[in-house]
Amino acid sequence: MREKMIVRWLAVATGFLYVSGVIFPVPASAVTAELARTCRSLTAKQFPPRQPANPAAGSAKGSGRDQLTYYEKCVANQGKVDNGGNQ
């Protein structure tokens, strides 16, 4: 009787770990180089630098957090972002 309870408990625990993704995690999809280039280009157009050829001068339009948010939105939407009303 005790052995059956232990086997049942191990089966339930293993099933839970399998379902939760601990044993066999689902790999995250990687961003392609083409998508990264597209989004980097769109972000640079949306947030031009204060001084040309000086990225350390900062952006003329927004903060670094705004740029990161814009880039992440671009990647999440596969390179399609709505620029109307943004910034």
Question: Which burial class, exposed, middle or buried, applies to 70 when counting CB atoms under 10 A from its CB (0-12, 13-18, 19+)?
Answer: buried
Res 22 pLDDT > 70: no
pTM: 0.59
| Amino acid residing at 7 | V
CA separation for the pair 62, 67 (Å, rounded): 7
CA separation for the pair 87, 46 (Å, rounded): 8
Other CB atoms closer than 10 Å to residue 63's CB: what's the count? 11
33-80 residue pLDDT tens: 999 999 999 999 999 888 888 878 888 888 889 999 999 999 999 998
